[in-house]
Amino acid sequence: MTADLAAAYAQAALTHPGVRGVVPVGEAFMRAVQAGVAMRNPFEPTPRTVDLWWPEDRFHPSGHGAYLSGLVMFGALTGIDPASFSATERAARALGISAVQALQLQWVASQQLSASGHALRALPCLAASQPAATANGCGARAR
């Protein structure tokens, strides 16, 4: 189903000249499941995997799913590899995502973006806890 949806969205994007592409969030969710990072069946929890779905309705993303979505969107829009973040990335911490889970989801986002043809550049200084680190160039300081 994920592949069918991705193909339909890609086809729709081709028919609308104002659309530049489709961000592969659904494919990233599937990659997380296939890589053993996320549980396949949210009704049968699997040890050491994350649940990407909100437990109240199983249609909306959980904090883990929202974090993965955000990483994929960030990478697609900026061209910066989501794997440039560290295990202690602030958004992950704020969502209650462990350091190990943050790294796994960053890896999934990076892998999916690359597989979907997005050119990514690493920005290692994002992993450093520098207050001066910015998405447009680390070390840039406000004057």
> How far apart, in Å, are the Cα atoms of 64 and each of 21, 29, 67, 99?
24, 10, 5, 12
pTM score, two decimals?
0.84
CA dihedral 73, 85, 116, 60 (to 10 degrees): -40
pLDDT digits (tens, 9 = 90+) for 74-105: 999 999 999 999 998 999 999 999 999 999 99
The residues spanned by each domain of the chain are 24-126
